[in-house]
Amino acid sequence: MKYIIAYPPVDFSVPFPELKPEQIDIYFHYTNEIGGRTCKAACAHCYFRSKPTFHIPPEKALDITESLRAQGFNIGMAPADSFADEALMAGNSGSAFRLKAIGNSAWSSGMPLALPNWEARLDRAWQIGFRSIIITAHEAAGTMVPIKGITKAPVIRQAFKNIIAWNNVNNPKRFSTATTFTIRPDNCNLDLMRQMISWGVEEGLDLVRFNCFANFQSLPEHRQFEMSREKIVEFYDHLARLQVEFQDAPTSLGISEDWGDAGIEQIYPYLPPEWQSRKAGWCRARYRLFAMIEVNGEIVLTGCVDKWEPVMGKLIQIAPIEYRIVWKYDQIETLRQAILDDKVYACWGGVGYGRPTEASFGTDSIAEDEIMRG
């Protein structure tokens, strides 16, 4: 049986200080530049707009990445586009290893891979270790996205055609291909979701995955796109039906970690038996997944990889190319308990359902003796 590709259940019963670095994933957003130098897009809802522009030199970012990786952390450099010139030149930057089912993943808007030098970019991506490419589909399947600045459908279609052409020429080398559709109330519809999947099948993609719209910037004009609990339950119903319908298709279906557990039991028959638990819908961000960004000249770790709040720790340099993480254990524990107490049922950072108030995180400074032992 072909299962829905999801993230495995997370056991929140283990206190954070008892976790090993190998159990923690870090998105290292060493820059939040968007547009011409990176993704060449300007999506109005992009979480990279959440903070003032910052840029850590890639040489330093690589030193930090390699230092933390040597301690066991699953860390990858995560700019707006893995195929931006600077990102490709950086070399062995890795990824955050989140979608293990499809390999070491590169993320792209599609635009860099629709340019004339797309072959060289793909050659370099393979050379530095990427094995799968994920592009947000937006309107590529012919479904409308009422948000400004997104990458246009012809660009995305051309990018996937180029990837598949590269695969054909370079066999047995092959990039896995995945696309993500963002679901909002206006497209949380069985027929529209079927249209999205059908397009992915026709394009020969390996994975069509869905994530939940999140208003990371709290824009008033985007509140209409936020998913209610009832809509999330409805989404899981549609996904269960479509999993049956496309069971024999070569394309797999998948979900991101931001959907939560409201109605998740509807897809239990289509998850591996050991994953049939509401814990499969608990996002591990702020417990086993963090973003690392620069704020006011300091490199900090945040509890949400997209919203970039609240600060859960900071990076300190203890030698020329050696770094350690100092954690805010009390704040991490506050959010862990909120999950265990059933106060959160979906993405607490962007969707925000039931997440604790910012005041509950506290503002205590980080003690230097709270360094995570590697």
By mean pLDDT, which of 88-102, 160-174, 196-210 is the weakest? 88-102
Could you give the percent of the chain with pLDDT greater than 70?
89
By mean pLDDT, which of 10-14, 67-71, 124-128, 336-340 is the weakest? 336-340
* pLDDT at residue 98, as a whole number: 55
* pLDDT at residue 3, as a whole number: 95
Mean pLDDT to the nearest integer, 59-75: 94
* Boundaries of domain holding 61: 16-370
* pLDDT at residue 279, as a whole number: 82
Contact indicator for 305, 289 with CB cutoff of 8 Å: yes
CATH number at residue 130: 3.20.20
Instruction: Give a yes or no: residue 133 inside a domain.
Output: yes
Instruction: Give a yes or no: residue 10 inside a domain.
Output: no
Instruction: Give a yes or no: residue 163 inside a domain.
Output: yes
Q: What is the pLDDT of residues 338-373, one digit of tens each?
A: 888 877 766 765 554 444 343 333 334 444 444 333
Instruction: Give a yes or no: residue 8 inside a domain.
Output: no
Contact indicator for 9, 279 with CB cutoff of 8 Å: yes
Residue at token pair 């808007």: 109
Residue from 320, 308, 301 nearest 366 by CA: 301
* pLDDT at residue 99, as a whole number: 56
* pLDDT at residue 305, as a whole number: 82
Instruction: Give a yes or no: residue 4 inside a domain.
Output: no
Q: How many domains does the chain have?
A: 1
Instruction: Give a yes or no: residue 11 inside a domain.
Output: no
| 101: pLDDT strictly greater than 80 | no
* pLDDT at residue 307, as a whole number: 77
Token pair belonging to 17: 């200080």
Residue at token pair 């919203």: 307
Instruction: Give a yes or no: residue 9 inside a domain.
Output: no
Instruction: Give a yes or no: residue 276 inside a domain.
Output: yes
